[in-house]
A and B are shown apart, each in its own frame.
Chain A
């Protein structure tokens, strides 16, 4: 029987990972690594220049992703991943900028940045790993924590309703909005591959288990139980209106690609308004001369 050494093969994901930093700090049963697999497969399966791809993360468990990816990485302050990414994109418009962060970071602390980046249609891709809680900082209730959940800051059960992220970014003007769970690895890979090629503000929400800080306190079992729950409760509805996709405890999880539309992005509008004086285009590669029969003569 052939072995991996005979066949000279290795885990395909390792091509875009910093192997010296593995094992990761994530808990057993955490789904963030699963989303990284889909992201790595999407990156490798596309004709994308990895030298011109940058990944930006905030603080949190999913903020560690930028440190594990062998891309140009940017680990920023809490909640400010999108402002850093905006600056990066405006300074280097040729970069493909990806923000990979958690729900507490992107939508609770940095909620205003998310809304305004979507409004401006900034040309960045945002992957929001939604584990329903601030995990790394100690299990505090976030804007995405469902009602009646027990967290360290709501020991008698939180009574605040949670935010519906696809509806929020859709209303703010994002051009691509999707939601998957950590169970839908192949669909997530395809959606990420599609989003990587699109221009404008692209938002992908991924629901992942948090066995240590969310499920343990709420008697919801381990990470595997959450994955099986996603499998049983999720329903794929591509193109569903985002006002119908709110998460309800025990109800069905509507997943799919909800919004895919075209809108002028920030840089295009800025260049038209201000001209090239304020927003120079990056130097274009010189076109090869058409004269002559072939390149060798």
Chain B
């Protein structure tokens, strides 16, 4: 069960690849799909590894991606 996820606003993306390169758990990859301007926005390939740390959001120069933690992730950890 992943601790978090990322949200991508594909139309803002310019395909620079900063989020893919610097994701600490290598969750992201540039997809083959195009956005309206012809760039390849990122998508999640290892969604179960995402910790929701928002480092991708800190690197994104176009404010097109951000990470968030699931509110129940903390409780699950406690139970386990």
Q: Chain A interface (Cβ within 8 Å of chain B)?
A: 1-4, 7, 9-14, 17, 22-24, 26-34, 36-38, 41, 183, 185-186, 189, 222-224, 227-228
Do B70 and A185 have beta carbons less than 8 Å apart?
no
CB distance from A288 to the nearest CB of B (A): 40
Given the complex of chains A and B, what is the CA–CA distance between A10 and B67 in angstroms? Answer: 10
Given the complex of chains A and B, what is the CA–CA distance between A10 and B17 in angstroms? Answer: 21
Given contacts A1-B5, A224-B18, A228-B21, contact A38 B58 (CB under 8 A): yes
CB distance from A32 to the nearest CB of B (A): 7
Do A41 and B68 have beta carbons less than 8 Å apart?
no
B60 at the interface (CB under 8 A from A): yes
Do A185 and B21 have beta carbons less than 8 Å apart?
no
Q: Which residues of A contact B15 (CB under 8 A)?
A: 28
Given contacts A4-B68, A224-B21, contact A41 B61 (CB under 8 A): no
Q: Chain B interface (Cβ within 8 Å of chain A)?
A: 5, 7, 9, 11-12, 14-18, 21-22, 39, 54-55, 57-63, 66, 68, 70-72
CB distance from B76 to the nearest CB of A (A): 13
Given contacts A4-B68, A7-B71, A224-B21, contact A37 B16 (CB under 8 A): no
Do A34 and B58 have beta carbons less than 8 Å apart?
yes
CB distance from B47 to the nearest CB of A (A): 9
Identity of the chain B residue whose Cβ is nearest the Cβ of A223 in the assembled complex: B16
10 new A-B contacts at CB < 8 Å, known A189-B58, A227-B22: A2-B70, A4-B68, A13-B66, A14-B63, A28-B15, A28-B16, A31-B61, A33-B60, A41-B58, A228-B21
**Which of B7, B39, B55, B70 has the most chain A CB atoms closer than 10 A to its own CB?**
B7
Do A185 and B63 have beta carbons less than 8 Å apart?
no
Given the complex of chains A and B, what is the CA–CA distance between A223 and B22 in angstroms? Answer: 13
Identity of the chain B residue whose Cβ is nearest the Cβ of A28 in the assembled complex: B14
The 10 closest A-B pairs by CB, nearest first: A33-B61, A28-B14, A11-B66, A185-B58, A4-B7, A29-B16, A224-B17, A28-B16, A34-B61, A37-B58
Given the complex of chains A and B, what is the CA–CA distance between A26 and B22 in angstroms? Answer: 20
Do B12 and A22 have beta carbons less than 8 Å apart?
yes
Given contacts A13-B57, A37-B57, A228-B21, contact A23 B62 (CB under 8 A): yes
